[in-house]
Amino acid sequence: MQDNLARIDKVLALIRDERIVQDRQWAPVSQHGHSPYVWLALIQKQLGQAATELIEMQKYEGNVPEINRLAMRAQLIQAAAVIAAFIEDATLFIERMEQSDDGPVAIGADT
């Protein structure tokens, strides 16, 4: 169990580090203004890139080179970081909604 928790912590640290890279590259989530549809498109793009790596791995019939596994893992980390950014954006939206006197706001509405 302890090994599993350490592995989870390691994976979450990789995702956190990628989120930091993404914020530096694209600006913090609070400045994006993406609709949920854009977030889903970005996530699908990242998952598509991971799927491409997986398809490439199939041609090795079980003897997958380490570089392919590393590339697939890198794409999954990027996808997870984009998912985390979407969750962060949704959390910001909910916080703004809770602080607003106007009550609930439709998802995707300008904030």
**pLDDT value of position 14:** 98
Residue 89 in this model has a pLDDT that exceeds 60 = yes
**Domain encompassing residue 29:** 2-99
CB atoms within 10 A of CB 76: 19
pTM, whole model, 2 decimals? 0.81
Position 105 in a domain: no
Q: Is residue 107 part of a domain?
A: no
Instruction: Tell me how far apart the alpha carbons of residues 45 and 62 are, in angstroms, rounded to a whole number.
Output: 26
Number of domains in the chain: 1
| Any domain includes 55 | yes
28 domain residue, yes or no: yes
pLDDT for residue 104 is more than 50: yes
Q: How far is CA 30 from the centre of its chain?
A: 15
Is the pLDDT at 43 greater than 80? The verdict is: yes
- CA–CA gap between residue 8 and residue 34 (Å, rounded): 29
What mean pLDDT is reported for the chain?
87
